[in-house]
Amino acid sequence: MNMVKDLLKPYIYEDLLTVAKCSVDFSRFKNKTVLITGAGNLLGYYLVCAFLINNDLLNLDTKIIAVDNNDYLLDRYRELSSRNDVDFLVSESYDNFCAYKVDYLIHNEFNNQNNNLAISNLLEYITKNNVPSTVFCSDASVYGTVYNGKTDICENELGYIDPVRNENVQSMRMAECIAHKFAQASMAKISFARLGKVYGAPLDINDILYSLLEGKTNLKLDLSNVSNRSESYCYVSDCARAILYILTQGVDNEIYNVASDNSVAKYRDFINEFSETSTGKLICKKGHFSPMEPEHFILNTEKLKSLGFKSKVTLRDGIKLTAAIMKSSM
Protein backbone atom coordinates (compact mmCIF):
# COMPACT_ATOMS: atom_id res chain seq x y z
CA MET A 1 0.00 0.00 0.00
CA ASN A 2 1.35 3.41 -0.97
CA MET A 3 2.32 5.67 1.92
CA VAL A 4 0.44 8.96 2.29
CA LYS A 5 3.77 10.80 2.35
CA ASP A 6 4.59 9.52 -1.13
CA LEU A 7 1.23 10.58 -2.57
CA LEU A 8 1.01 14.19 -1.39
CA LYS A 9 3.02 17.36 -1.95
CA PRO A 10 5.45 18.04 0.93
CA TYR A 11 3.75 21.24 2.16
CA ILE A 12 0.38 19.50 2.39
CA TYR A 13 1.79 16.40 4.06
CA GLU A 14 3.72 18.41 6.66
CA ASP A 15 0.57 20.36 7.51
CA LEU A 16 -1.47 17.17 7.85
CA LEU A 17 1.28 15.69 10.02
CA THR A 18 0.60 18.32 12.70
CA VAL A 19 -2.86 16.79 13.10
CA ALA A 20 -1.66 13.19 13.00
CA LYS A 21 0.97 13.91 15.65
CA CYS A 22 -1.25 15.87 18.02
CA SER A 23 -1.43 14.82 21.67
CA VAL A 24 -4.63 12.80 21.22
CA ASP A 25 -4.06 9.13 22.07
CA PHE A 26 -4.43 7.59 18.61
CA SER A 27 -3.81 4.09 20.01
CA ARG A 28 -7.49 4.02 20.99
CA PHE A 29 -8.28 3.88 17.26
CA LYS A 30 -6.27 0.69 16.71
CA ASN A 31 -8.36 -1.83 14.75
CA LYS A 32 -11.35 0.51 15.02
CA THR A 33 -13.62 1.97 12.33
CA VAL A 34 -14.19 5.73 12.00
CA LEU A 35 -16.95 7.17 9.80
CA ILE A 36 -16.52 10.79 8.68
CA THR A 37 -19.24 12.65 6.79
CA GLY A 38 -18.32 15.74 4.80
CA ALA A 39 -15.10 13.98 3.85
CA GLY A 40 -14.97 15.95 0.61
CA ASN A 41 -14.60 19.33 2.32
CA LEU A 42 -11.39 20.79 3.69
CA LEU A 43 -11.87 19.81 7.34
CA GLY A 44 -13.05 16.33 6.40
CA TYR A 45 -9.97 15.87 4.22
CA TYR A 46 -7.63 16.79 7.08
CA LEU A 47 -9.38 14.38 9.44
CA VAL A 48 -9.35 11.46 7.00
CA CYS A 49 -5.70 12.01 6.07
CA ALA A 50 -4.62 12.27 9.72
CA PHE A 51 -5.97 8.79 10.38
CA LEU A 52 -4.36 7.39 7.21
CA ILE A 53 -0.99 8.92 8.14
CA ASN A 54 -1.14 7.30 11.56
CA ASN A 55 -1.94 3.98 9.94
CA ASP A 56 1.39 4.41 8.13
CA LEU A 57 3.33 5.61 11.17
CA LEU A 58 1.79 3.58 13.98
CA ASN A 59 0.33 0.51 12.22
CA LEU A 60 -3.07 1.18 13.75
CA ASP A 61 -5.13 -0.56 11.05
CA THR A 62 -7.87 2.02 11.55
CA LYS A 63 -10.59 1.69 8.92
CA ILE A 64 -11.96 5.00 7.60
CA ILE A 65 -15.38 5.36 5.97
CA ALA A 66 -15.23 8.66 4.08
CA VAL A 67 -18.72 9.90 3.23
CA ASP A 68 -19.88 12.87 1.20
CA ASN A 69 -23.11 13.82 -0.55
CA ASN A 70 -21.31 14.74 -3.77
CA ASP A 71 -19.58 12.42 -6.22
CA TYR A 72 -16.54 14.70 -6.51
CA LEU A 73 -15.34 12.96 -3.36
CA LEU A 74 -12.86 10.73 -5.18
CA ASP A 75 -11.45 13.68 -7.13
CA ARG A 76 -10.42 15.29 -3.85
CA TYR A 77 -8.42 12.24 -2.72
CA ARG A 78 -6.97 11.18 -6.07
CA GLU A 79 -4.21 8.61 -5.45
CA LEU A 80 -5.26 8.14 -1.83
CA SER A 81 -8.47 6.50 -3.06
CA SER A 82 -6.50 3.36 -3.96
CA ARG A 83 -5.61 2.61 -0.32
CA ASN A 84 -7.34 -0.35 1.29
CA ASP A 85 -7.76 1.32 4.71
CA VAL A 86 -10.37 3.79 3.45
CA ASP A 87 -13.75 3.27 1.79
CA PHE A 88 -15.40 6.14 -0.06
CA LEU A 89 -19.17 6.41 0.04
CA VAL A 90 -21.44 8.91 -1.74
CA SER A 91 -24.69 9.33 0.17
CA GLU A 92 -27.22 12.15 0.32
CA SER A 93 -29.63 10.58 2.79
CA TYR A 94 -27.26 8.38 4.83
CA ASP A 95 -29.39 5.33 4.11
CA ASN A 96 -26.49 3.10 3.03
CA PHE A 97 -24.44 2.96 6.24
CA CYS A 98 -25.92 -0.34 7.37
CA ALA A 99 -23.04 -2.39 5.94
CA TYR A 100 -20.64 -0.74 8.38
CA LYS A 101 -20.23 -1.16 12.11
CA VAL A 102 -18.35 1.91 13.33
CA ASP A 103 -16.68 2.81 16.62
CA TYR A 104 -16.39 6.57 16.08
CA LEU A 105 -18.43 8.96 13.94
CA ILE A 106 -17.74 12.58 12.95
CA HIS A 107 -20.66 14.33 11.28
CA ASN A 108 -19.15 17.22 9.33
CA GLU A 109 -21.60 17.61 6.42
CA PHE A 110 -23.05 21.11 6.83
CA ASN A 111 -24.82 20.97 3.46
CA ASN A 112 -26.95 18.09 4.72
CA GLN A 113 -28.19 19.81 7.88
CA ASN A 114 -31.37 20.91 6.13
CA ASN A 115 -32.02 17.35 4.92
CA ASN A 116 -34.43 16.03 7.55
CA LEU A 117 -34.30 12.48 6.16
CA ALA A 118 -30.50 12.44 6.29
CA ILE A 119 -30.42 13.67 9.91
CA SER A 120 -33.10 11.15 10.88
CA ASN A 121 -31.20 8.29 9.23
CA LEU A 122 -27.95 9.38 10.83
CA LEU A 123 -29.41 9.50 14.34
CA GLU A 124 -31.18 6.19 13.83
CA TYR A 125 -27.91 4.63 12.69
CA ILE A 126 -26.08 5.97 15.77
CA THR A 127 -28.71 4.43 18.06
CA LYS A 128 -29.10 1.07 16.33
CA ASN A 129 -25.36 0.54 16.18
CA ASN A 130 -24.72 1.96 19.64
CA VAL A 131 -21.86 4.10 18.29
CA PRO A 132 -19.52 4.66 21.26
CA SER A 133 -18.56 8.24 20.37
CA THR A 134 -19.94 10.81 17.91
CA VAL A 135 -19.13 14.46 17.22
CA PHE A 136 -21.91 16.44 15.53
CA CYS A 137 -20.44 19.56 13.90
CA SER A 138 -22.31 22.75 13.12
CA ASP A 139 -21.32 26.28 12.21
CA ALA A 140 -21.07 29.20 14.65
CA SER A 141 -23.69 30.96 12.54
CA VAL A 142 -26.28 28.99 14.54
CA TYR A 143 -25.79 31.58 17.29
CA GLY A 144 -27.57 34.16 15.15
CA THR A 145 -27.45 37.78 16.31
CA VAL A 146 -26.43 37.70 19.96
CA TYR A 147 -26.79 40.72 22.27
CA ASN A 148 -25.24 39.59 25.54
CA GLY A 149 -23.30 42.73 26.50
CA LYS A 150 -20.02 40.79 26.34
CA THR A 151 -17.20 40.51 23.82
CA ASP A 152 -17.54 36.74 23.45
CA ILE A 153 -20.26 34.11 23.05
CA CYS A 154 -20.63 31.05 25.26
CA GLU A 155 -22.29 27.81 24.25
CA ASN A 156 -25.55 28.54 26.12
CA GLU A 157 -26.24 31.86 24.34
CA LEU A 158 -28.36 32.06 21.19
CA GLY A 159 -29.71 35.06 19.32
CA TYR A 160 -32.15 35.94 16.59
CA ILE A 161 -32.00 34.33 13.13
CA ASP A 162 -34.04 35.77 10.28
CA PRO A 163 -35.83 32.62 9.03
CA VAL A 164 -36.32 34.06 5.54
CA ARG A 165 -32.88 35.48 4.77
CA ASN A 166 -31.01 32.75 6.68
CA GLU A 167 -32.97 29.60 5.94
CA ASN A 168 -29.87 27.35 5.89
CA VAL A 169 -28.68 28.66 9.25
CA GLN A 170 -32.14 28.13 10.73
CA SER A 171 -32.13 24.55 9.39
CA MET A 172 -28.68 23.94 10.85
CA ARG A 173 -29.82 25.16 14.27
CA MET A 174 -32.91 22.93 14.07
CA ALA A 175 -30.81 19.90 13.06
CA GLU A 176 -28.47 20.48 15.99
CA CYS A 177 -31.43 20.88 18.35
CA ILE A 178 -33.02 17.64 17.10
CA ALA A 179 -29.73 15.77 17.56
CA HIS A 180 -29.30 17.28 21.03
CA LYS A 181 -32.79 16.22 22.17
CA PHE A 182 -32.34 12.84 20.51
CA ALA A 183 -29.11 12.27 22.44
CA GLN A 184 -30.86 13.13 25.70
CA ALA A 185 -33.78 10.79 25.02
CA SER A 186 -31.78 7.84 23.68
CA MET A 187 -28.66 8.21 25.82
CA ALA A 188 -26.64 8.30 22.58
CA LYS A 189 -23.04 9.35 23.10
CA ILE A 190 -22.99 12.55 21.01
CA SER A 191 -20.89 15.68 21.61
CA PHE A 192 -21.40 18.87 19.63
CA ALA A 193 -18.90 21.23 18.00
CA ARG A 194 -19.75 24.73 16.79
CA LEU A 195 -17.01 25.83 14.43
CA GLY A 196 -15.81 29.38 13.92
CA LYS A 197 -14.59 30.41 10.48
CA VAL A 198 -12.32 27.59 9.28
CA TYR A 199 -9.72 28.48 6.67
CA GLY A 200 -6.92 26.74 4.81
CA ALA A 201 -5.85 25.92 1.27
CA PRO A 202 -8.62 24.72 -1.05
CA LEU A 203 -7.51 21.68 -2.97
CA ASP A 204 -9.25 22.57 -6.21
CA ILE A 205 -8.46 25.70 -8.21
CA ASN A 206 -11.77 27.55 -8.14
CA ASP A 207 -11.22 30.10 -5.40
CA ILE A 208 -10.91 33.83 -6.00
CA LEU A 209 -7.77 33.91 -3.86
CA TYR A 210 -5.93 31.92 -6.50
CA SER A 211 -6.08 35.01 -8.68
CA LEU A 212 -3.92 36.75 -6.11
CA LEU A 213 -1.41 33.91 -6.11
CA GLU A 214 -1.22 34.02 -9.89
CA GLY A 215 0.02 37.60 -9.63
CA LYS A 216 -3.04 39.44 -10.91
CA THR A 217 -3.03 42.96 -9.49
CA ASN A 218 -5.86 45.31 -8.57
CA LEU A 219 -8.33 42.48 -8.23
CA LYS A 220 -11.70 44.00 -7.31
CA LEU A 221 -13.68 42.24 -4.65
CA ASP A 222 -17.03 43.57 -3.51
CA LEU A 223 -17.21 43.21 0.27
CA SER A 224 -19.98 45.76 0.68
CA ASN A 225 -22.41 43.11 1.97
CA VAL A 226 -19.92 41.41 4.26
CA SER A 227 -20.34 41.83 8.00
CA ASN A 228 -17.98 44.34 9.57
CA ARG A 229 -17.91 42.62 12.96
CA SER A 230 -14.84 40.97 14.46
CA GLU A 231 -15.09 37.18 14.29
CA SER A 232 -13.23 34.08 15.44
CA TYR A 233 -11.10 32.11 13.00
CA CYS A 234 -9.44 28.73 13.19
CA TYR A 235 -6.84 27.30 10.83
CA VAL A 236 -7.96 23.91 9.51
CA SER A 237 -5.25 21.86 11.25
CA ASP A 238 -6.20 23.38 14.62
CA CYS A 239 -9.87 22.74 13.89
CA ALA A 240 -9.18 19.08 13.02
CA ARG A 241 -7.19 18.68 16.24
CA ALA A 242 -10.06 20.20 18.22
CA ILE A 243 -12.56 17.75 16.70
CA LEU A 244 -10.31 14.84 17.71
CA TYR A 245 -10.11 16.19 21.28
CA ILE A 246 -13.91 16.38 21.43
CA LEU A 247 -14.27 12.91 19.87
CA THR A 248 -12.00 11.28 22.44
CA GLN A 249 -12.48 13.42 25.54
CA GLY A 250 -15.70 15.38 25.05
CA VAL A 251 -18.61 15.03 27.47
CA ASP A 252 -21.76 13.45 26.04
CA ASN A 253 -24.40 15.97 24.95
CA GLU A 254 -22.11 18.93 25.65
CA ILE A 255 -21.50 21.71 23.10
CA TYR A 256 -17.99 23.03 22.43
CA ASN A 257 -17.03 26.22 20.60
CA VAL A 258 -14.12 25.62 18.23
CA ALA A 259 -11.90 28.60 17.38
CA SER A 260 -8.35 29.83 17.82
CA ASP A 261 -7.52 31.82 20.93
CA ASN A 262 -5.42 34.32 18.97
CA SER A 263 -7.22 34.63 15.64
CA VAL A 264 -9.84 37.36 15.61
CA ALA A 265 -10.39 39.69 12.65
CA LYS A 266 -12.95 41.28 10.38
CA TYR A 267 -13.43 39.38 7.13
CA ARG A 268 -12.10 42.27 5.04
CA ASP A 269 -8.99 42.35 7.25
CA PHE A 270 -8.57 38.62 6.70
CA ILE A 271 -8.75 39.08 2.91
CA ASN A 272 -6.35 42.03 2.98
CA GLU A 273 -3.90 40.03 5.08
CA PHE A 274 -4.05 37.28 2.48
CA SER A 275 -3.48 39.73 -0.37
CA GLU A 276 -0.36 41.04 1.36
CA THR A 277 0.93 37.47 1.65
CA SER A 278 0.49 36.94 -2.10
CA THR A 279 1.57 38.95 -5.11
CA GLY A 280 -1.75 40.63 -5.86
CA LYS A 281 -3.63 43.47 -4.21
CA LEU A 282 -7.33 43.69 -3.51
CA ILE A 283 -9.51 46.73 -3.97
CA CYS A 284 -12.40 46.39 -1.53
CA LYS A 285 -15.51 48.51 -1.72
CA LYS A 286 -16.53 50.10 1.54
CA GLY A 287 -19.64 48.61 2.99
CA HIS A 288 -22.51 50.18 4.87
CA PHE A 289 -23.47 48.24 7.96
CA SER A 290 -26.27 48.54 10.42
CA PRO A 291 -25.24 50.33 13.64
CA MET A 292 -27.47 47.80 15.42
CA GLU A 293 -25.21 44.91 14.50
CA PRO A 294 -23.10 43.60 17.42
CA GLU A 295 -19.49 44.63 17.13
CA HIS A 296 -18.12 41.23 18.18
CA PHE A 297 -18.83 37.65 17.20
CA ILE A 298 -16.05 35.96 19.13
CA LEU A 299 -16.42 32.42 20.45
CA ASN A 300 -15.54 31.65 24.05
CA THR A 301 -13.41 28.47 23.97
CA GLU A 302 -12.95 27.80 27.69
CA LYS A 303 -14.90 24.51 27.51
CA LEU A 304 -12.72 23.27 24.65
CA LYS A 305 -9.56 24.25 26.50
CA SER A 306 -10.78 22.29 29.54
CA LEU A 307 -10.23 19.15 27.44
CA GLY A 308 -6.54 20.06 27.12
CA PHE A 309 -6.80 21.64 23.68
CA LYS A 310 -4.65 24.63 22.80
CA SER A 311 -4.62 26.28 19.38
CA LYS A 312 -1.22 26.52 17.72
CA VAL A 313 -1.61 28.47 14.47
CA THR A 314 -2.10 32.24 14.51
CA LEU A 315 -4.15 33.99 11.85
CA ARG A 316 -1.07 35.39 10.10
CA ASP A 317 0.84 32.08 10.19
CA GLY A 318 -2.25 30.23 8.96
CA ILE A 319 -2.55 32.58 6.00
CA LYS A 320 1.13 32.09 5.20
CA LEU A 321 0.63 28.32 5.32
CA THR A 322 -2.44 28.62 3.10
CA ALA A 323 -0.53 30.65 0.51
CA ALA A 324 2.44 28.27 0.57
CA ILE A 325 0.26 25.18 0.10
CA MET A 326 -1.75 26.79 -2.69
CA LYS A 327 1.40 27.91 -4.51
CA SER A 328 2.97 24.46 -4.18
CA SER A 329 -0.19 22.90 -5.67
CA MET A 330 -0.29 25.11 -8.77
128 lies in a domain? Answer: yes
Structural domain that includes position 14 = 4-201+234-260+298-314
Q: Is residue 169 part of a domain?
A: yes
Identify the band that residue 129 occupies on the pLDDT scale cut at 50, 70 and 90. Answer: very high
pLDDT at 203: 55
Residue 256 belongs to a domain: yes
Residue 329: inside a domain, yes or no?
A: no
Cα–Cα distances (Å) from 161 to 143, 181, 193, 216, 254, in that order, read: 8, 20, 19, 38, 22
DSSP β-ladder status, 255-258 and 63-68:
unpaired
Q: Cα–chain-centroid distance for residue 324? A: 20
Q: Is residue 139 part of a domain?
A: yes
Mean pLDDT check: name the lowest of 26-35, 64-73, 237-246.
Answer: 64-73
Say if 274 falls within a structural domain.
Answer: no
Q: What would the pLDDT profile of 74-110 be if each residue is shown by its tens digit?
A: 778 988 988 999 999 999 899 988 889 999 999 999 8
Residues 242/324/275/270 CA torsion (nearest 10 deg): 10
114 pLDDT higher than 80: no
pTM for this one? 0.92
- CA 101 from chain center: how many Å? 24
Residue 280 placed within a domain: no
Residue 105: which CATH number? 3.40.50.720
Q: Tell me, what's the pLDDT at 220?
A: 63
pLDDT of residue 229: 84
Q: Confidence band (pLDDT; 50, 70, 90) for 284?
A: low
Rounded to whole angstroms, the Cα distance separating 287 from 197 reads 20
Encode pLDDT of 139-169 as tens digits: 999 999 998 889 899 999 999 998 888 888 8
Using an 8 Å Cβ cutoff, are 38 and 80 in contact? no
223-281 pLDDT tens trace: 666 677 899 999 999 999 999 999 999 999 999 999 998 899 988 788 777 777 765 55
> Does 23 reside within a domain?
yes
Domain count, the chain: 1
